[in-house]
Amino acid sequence: MDTINQLPNFRPMGITLLVTAIVFMIGAFSTAYFKWPLPTDPLEKLTRIANDRVGWTAQAIIFPVAFLATAVLFALITAQLPGPGPRWLAVAATLLFFAGFLFWLPISMDRLQLGAKAAELIRTYDPAAPPAVMVNISGVFWANTLCILAALALMGAALALAGALPTLGWVVTGLAVGGALLGLLVMRDWPPFMSYVILLVMAIGLIRA
């Protein structure tokens, strides 16, 4: 029997993954801080945070929840893939996404603490010695970013090899690898929103598969 015909229906997983991707995007737009153009001056950053405590707190909670939910969904997808090749790639993708969740936890904790003391930092602000605000918080931003992009690349490859996303899976892998290279070598930064877009592409593909 053809391997593709043996695959389960991934549509429910795709729908759930789509919801998770949307939750990520809600987190990205739930606070005024991330509205374009992004603030660059420390005082402006603190002002945006202090003036939007609800939105700032919301994003600090939403992101780790969405990371963990996606890791769980990757695990559920992994359990339905044929082995050994696709399944082992998916296992690695799941572990990397969970590692990304762990790396994001100190970022969220720092953001919650920053929100709590933003008003006081504004009151005591010294232009001659401005505090560091949202500058590679906790030193783990790149660890999280590379884990998430690697997880997306491996899961895309797993779905492609399994026949669930024979073409789009490789597209997802290419986007994730290209994003990592672009962020590291060219931009020296990576907008997390772009990772959520890649996840959205994967989700839509699973829905349509």
Q: Which residue bears the tokens 């695990």?
A: 75
Instruction: Give one DSSP letter per residue of 107-121, joined into a string.
Output: HHHHHHHHHHHHHHH
Cα–Cα dist 142/74, whole Å: 21
> Quick one: 5 exposed, middle or buried, by C-beta within 10 A (0-12, 13-18, 19+)?
exposed
Q: Which residue bears the tokens 């090749």?
A: 85
The range of the structural domain enclosing residue 38 comes to: 3-208
Q: How many domains does the chain have?
A: 1
Tens digit of pLDDT per residue, the chain (209 long)? 344 457 788 999 999 999 999 999 998 888 888 888 888 888 999 999 999 899 999 999 999 999 999 999 999 999 999 878 899 999 999 999 999 999 999 999 989 999 999 999 999 988 888 888 877 665 688 999 999 999 999 999 999 999 999 999 999 999 999 999 998 888 877 888 899 999 999 999 999 87
What predicted TM-score, i.e. pTM, was given to this entire model? Answer: 0.88
